[in-house]
Structure 1
Amino acid sequence: MKPQFHLPLTTHPEASSFAIIENAIQFSLHQGADLVASLYAGRRHGHEAGETYSDDDVFQAERFDRDVAAQLVRHLRERAERVCLDVRLVAADAEAMSATIKPAELARAYDVTILENTELARPLIESLFFDSGRPVLLLPPGDFYGRIDNIAIAWDGSATAARAASNAYPMIQSATKATVICARVAAPRSDNLLDRYVEALKHSGLEVALAAVHSDGEDVTSVIQDAAIEGHADLLIAGAYGHAKLRETLFGGVTRGLIDNLLIPTLLSH
């Protein structure tokens, strides 16, 4: 059974980068996964209040979107063909899709959605995080090798952390090493549970190291990422602590810190 990875490509308000295409291809290739790209070339019929546009402005904007979409698709197909990865493309008009199936709803059909963490991508990240029911792989801007041999798991013994680790399975089947990061910002839930979890990971075939870190007033997000980077992790796995009733704040705690300063590929699960 092959994992199914999902890559949303957009032209507006921000065009997807060639880097995220390359990264998604490499991650899919190394994990033995299929890659499905969904293309959202939104029509720009709606504008900010108070702004006026001529028909020519709208036409030029839509033509620009079509040109960008064509470039993205061409690059996707060329790069996938070069590494012999079969990529499926789902073309969708964002305006028409809003009445039928939205990006977050489409993401429910796949194991993981891959996104580049940029400021303009925040609304899409928020939508996928809260509404897809699937984990989101966030990547900092730039190129990454794609192979996942060494993972880091942010662990506090909560159901959220356990769910995140379980949801990461399609991404970590090739992993041989793991660092379990236990940030001591409060009293530990259960050292016995931590021991049990580390033991279970070892029995699964992983070489496991434990990093019990202390924030000492420092931002806990930085501590967790520093520990993951120090352990040479290819991927950080973290449970996302969001509050659906406070969507305007997007995420809280560790998750918000990761979104604001993402240094390492991170799989977030809500």
Structure 2
Amino acid sequence: MKPQFHLPLTTHPEASSFAIIENAIQFSLHQGADLVASLAAARRHGHEAAETYSDDDEFQADRFDRDVAAQLVRHLRERAERVALDVRLVPAEAEAMSATMRLAELARAYDVTILENTELARPIIESLFFDSGRPLLLLPSGDFYGRIDNIAIAWDGSATAARAASNAYPMIQSATKATVIHECAAAPWSEDLLDRYVEALKHSGLEVALAAVHSDGEDVSTVIQDTAIEGHADLLIAGAYGHTKLREALVGGATRSLLDNLRIPTLLSH
């Protein structure tokens, strides 16, 4: 059974980069997964995207979107063909106001959705967090090799962290090493639970190290990323938005800090 990875291609509010296409291809190739690319084609004012509009500005914007979309699809197909990766392209048409919700619904059909972490993509990222029910592989800007041998798991014993670790399975089947990062003051979970989790990972065939860290007033997400990077992790696994959506919007939180300064490929799950 092959994992099915999902890559949304967008032209608005910003165009997907060629880098995210290359990264998605490499991650899919190394994990033995198929790649499904969805092309978001928003309809304006209830019309099909291909129609001619009386408003010249709107027509020009639509023509630009279609030209950019054609470039993205061409690049995707050329790169995938070069490495013999099976790629399927599916449309994701929706009214412009509901495009992010449509994308979250589409993501439910696949094991993992891959996105580049940018400020303009934040509404799409948060919609996928809350509404897709699927994990999100979030990548910093830049190129990544795609092989996942060494993973880091942000573990606080919560149901959110446990769900994130479980949802990561399609991405980590080739891993041989794991670092369990435990922020000592993060939660009151028992040491017995932590020991049991480390033991379970070892029995699964991983070489496991435990990193107990103290934030000491520093941002927790920074400490976690620093520890993962120092351990040469290829992927960080973390639960997303442990508090309510309203509370996160009002006071921020570790997840929002992570998004503001993402430096390592991270699999997030809510």
Same fold (TM over 0.5): yes
Q: Which segments of 5 or more consecutive residues in structure 2 lack a partner in the other structure?
A: 47-52
- SS of 1:185's partner is coil
Task: Name the counterpart of 2:203.
Answer: 203
Aligned positions of 1:101-120 closer than 5 A: 102-120=102-120
| Residue 54 of structure 1: how far off its partner (Å) | 7.1
Task: Name the counterpart of 1:168.
Answer: 168
RMSD: 2.1
- Which is worse superposed, 247-256 or 181-190? 247-256
Distance 2:250 2:139 in 1: 18
CA spacing shift, 1:222–1:245, aligned 2, 3 Å: closer
Summarize deviations over 1:183-242 as a string: whole Å, max 9, x none. 123464111111111111000000000100101111111100000000000000001125
Summarize deviations over 1:91-145 as a string: whole Å, max 9, x none. 233328949x811000000000000000000010111110000001100010000
Aligned positions of 1:149-164 closer than 5 A: 149-164=149-164
Task: Name the counterpart of 2:49.
Answer: none
Aligned AA (2:80): A
2:65 pairs with 1:71: no
CA contact (8 A) 1:105 1:131 kept: yes
Task: Name the counterpart of 2:131.
Answer: 131
Aligned AA (1:160): T
CA contact (8 A) 1:181 1:212 kept: yes
Distance 1:185 1:74 in 2: 49
Task: Name the counterpart of 1:49.
Answer: none
CA spacing shift, 1:67–1:235, aligned 2, 3 Å: same
Aligned positions of 1:227-246 closer than 5 A: 227-246=227-246
- SS of 2:121's partner is helix
CA spacing shift, 1:77–1:249, aligned 2, 3 Å: same
Distance 1:183 1:121 in 2: 29
2:181 pairs with 1:193: no
What's the TM-score, normalizing by structure 2? Answer: 0.92
Structure 1 segments of 4+ aligned residues over 6 angstroms from their partners? none
Distance 1:13 1:120 in 2: 7
Aligned positions, number: 263
- SS of 2:6's partner is strand
Distance 2:251 2:2 in 1: 31
CA spacing shift, 1:61–1:255, aligned 2, 3 Å: same
CA contact (8 A) 1:242 1:251 kept: no
Task: Name the counterpart of 1:17.
Answer: 17
Aligned AA (1:211): A
- SS of 1:102's partner is helix
- SS of 2:258's partner is helix
Task: Name the counterpart of 1:50.
Answer: none
Aligned AA (2:60): Q
CA contact (8 A) 1:5 1:33 kept: yes
CA spacing shift, 1:258–1:106, aligned 2, 3 Å: same
CA spacing shift, 1:162–1:119, aligned 2, 3 Å: same
What's the TM-score, normalizing by structure 1? Answer: 0.92
CA spacing shift, 1:186–1:128, aligned 2, 3 Å: closer
